[in-house]
């Protein structure tokens, strides 16, 4: 038998669950990098045992199943997993043809239910043809952080970092915690012809009034951006005789969305009446952003792949930096719940990912 454990044969498989605690068959493979880092929290017993060395065995605690996976070449069909795992609300796409429109607009009050995901990870040690099975299955996955970053120069492909939280681990090589169903559950590999999200396809709009959001294009000013979303999450466990460490629900806490924009030094970005002037004001100034991407590739005839996000935001930090031989400034703003828009953030993706594939 060939030597097992080829790094290039690793796969990341996901499926959206219908309920917490119920694993599902994966629906799609994603082109992520990174590996899960499970910690079963084997806890050392405390007490006097008459020895300088450990005597009694450790015992399991509540597992720590939090880790980051990266999407190094962001594609339009990858985006729904990220927004569903962060914002939830069981969104499904519209569109009768190949083009599908996904949208998330959280109300800022935490009324949206979480979307939970089952995650399978492994390589060629998958139990086929007499091979041992070293695959792992994680349940109840949500995102506690999501960072989408653009390249510094050249208008290239965006990247993403996904901070996952899971509540339960099943291991195909385990007697006591075997997976629910067969793992890996599908043989799929990631899309062979993905449509990438390029910075060159992005148009930035910046307005001073909520009613004008998405109206005024900002030209010759934005080098790059970084969108970061984080949320506090409570793990809910009850004395219900489940005999499992798995959560029975999650509770939402404080959520923050920040937009760091790297600006060239123009009259729009530095000096009196500029974005830097808004940052330095005695009272925070409301700004209204829209970033709109439109691909050169069509999801359906005359309907291109696209992604847009909008947010009301206020600057709170300014940094000096450089790109090439030029000084630039980085202004970071945080989203807020605006009374006129009635949302802190809104995003829409047009791609070819059907609801059943999430």
Q: For residue 323, what is the enclosing H or E element?
A: strand 303-323
Contact indicator for 4, 131 with CB cutoff of 8 Å: yes
Number of domains the chain is built from: 1
Residue 321 reports pLDDT greater than 90? yes
Q: Torsion angle of alpha carbons 136, 93, 71, 144, nearest 10°? A: -70
In a domain, 284, yes or no: yes
**For residue 8, what are the contacts with CB-CB under 8 A and spacing of at least 6?**
none
* Over residues 127-143, mean pLDDT: 97
How many other C-beta atoms lie within 10 A of the C-beta of residue 257? 21
Segment 249-272 shows an average pLDDT of 97
Q: Ramachandran region of residue 187, left (φ > 0), alpha (ψ -120 to 50) or beta?
A: alpha
Query: Is residue 154 pLDDT above 90, yes or no?
Result: no
232 close to 205: Cβ distance less than 8 angstroms: no
Cα of 70 vs its chain's centroid, Å: 9
Identify the domain containing residue 311 by its residue range.
7-40+63-357
Residue 53 lies in a domain: no
Q: Is residue 119 pLDDT above 90, yes or no?
A: yes
Mean pLDDT, the chain, rounded, equals 97
Confidence of residue 232 (pLDDT cuts 50, 70, 90): very high
Residue in 68, 100, 183, 76 with CA at minimum distance from that of residue 137: 183
Place of tokens 């040690």: 125
Q: Reduced to 3 states, what is the DSSP secondary structure of residue 289? A: strand
The answer as to whether 51 is a domain residue is no
Supply 118's token pair: 């089952």
Cis peptide before 124 (omega within 30 of 0): no
**235 in any annotated domain:** yes
Taking the C-alpha atoms of residue 18 and residue 90, their distance in angstroms, rounded to an integer, is: 9
What is the share, in percent, of the chain residues with pLDDT greater than 70?
Answer: 100
For residue 324, being part of any structural domain is answered with: yes
- pTM, entire model: 0.96
Q: What CA–CA distances, in Å, run from 49 to 43, 53, 60?
A: 16, 9, 19
The stretches of 38-185 forming alpha helices (DSSP H) are 79-87
32 falls within a domain: yes
> Considering the domain boundaries, does residue 141 fall inside one?
yes
Q: What is the pLDDT of residues 54-98, one digit of tens each?
A: 999 999 999 999 999 999 999 999 999 999 999 999 999 999 999
| 52 occurs within a structural domain | no
Report yes or no: 118 and 20 within 8 Å, Cβ to Cβ. Answer: no
pLDDT at residue 152 tops 90: no
Strand partners, 124: none
- Whether residue 139 is predicted with pLDDT greater than 90 in this model: the reply is yes
């Amino acid at each position: 038998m060939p030597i097992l454990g080829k790094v290039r044969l690793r796969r990341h498989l996901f499926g959206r669950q219908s309920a917490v605690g119920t694993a599902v068959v994966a629906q799609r493979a994603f082109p992520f990098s990174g590996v899960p880092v499970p910690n079963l929290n084997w806890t050392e017993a405390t007490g006097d045992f008459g020895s300088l060395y450990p005597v009694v065995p450790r015992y399991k605690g509540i597992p720590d199943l939090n880790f980051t996976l990266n999407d190094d070449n962001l594609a339009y069909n990858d985006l729904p997993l990220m927004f569903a795992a962060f914002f939830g609300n069981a969104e499904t796409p519209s569109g009768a043809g190949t083009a599908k429109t996904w949208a998330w607009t959280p109300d800022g009050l935490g009324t949206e239910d979480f979307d939970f995901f089952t995650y399978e990870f492994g390589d060629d040690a998958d139990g086929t043809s007499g091979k041992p099975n070293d695959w792992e299955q994680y349940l109840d996955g949500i995102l506690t952080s999501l960072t989408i970053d653009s390249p510094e120069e050249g208008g290239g492909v965006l990247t993403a970092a996904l901070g996952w939280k899971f509540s339960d681990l099943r291991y195909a090589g385990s007697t006591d915690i075997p997976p629910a169903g067969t793992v890996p559950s599908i043989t799929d590999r990631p899309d062979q012809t993905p449509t990438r999200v390029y910075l060159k396809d992005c148009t930035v709009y910046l307005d001073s009034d909520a009613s004008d959001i998405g109206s005024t294009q900002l030209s010759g000013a934005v080098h790059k951006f970084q969108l970061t979303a984080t949320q506090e999450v409570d793990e809910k466990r009850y004395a219900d005789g489940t005999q499992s460490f798995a959560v029975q629900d999650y509770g939402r806490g404080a959520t923050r969305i920040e937009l760091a924009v790297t600006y060239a030094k123009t009259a729009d970005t530095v000096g009196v009446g500029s974005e830097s002037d808004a940052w330095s004001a005695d009272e925070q100034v409301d700004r209204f952003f829209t970033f709109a991407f439109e691909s050169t590739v069509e999801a359906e005839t005359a309907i291109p792949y696209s992604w847009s996000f909008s947010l009301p935001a206020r600057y709170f930090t300014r940094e000096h930096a450089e790109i090439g031989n030029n000084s630039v400034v980085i202004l970071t703003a945080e989203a807020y719940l605006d009374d006129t828009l009635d949302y802190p953030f809104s995003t829409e993706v047009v791609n070819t990912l059907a609801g059943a594939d999430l």
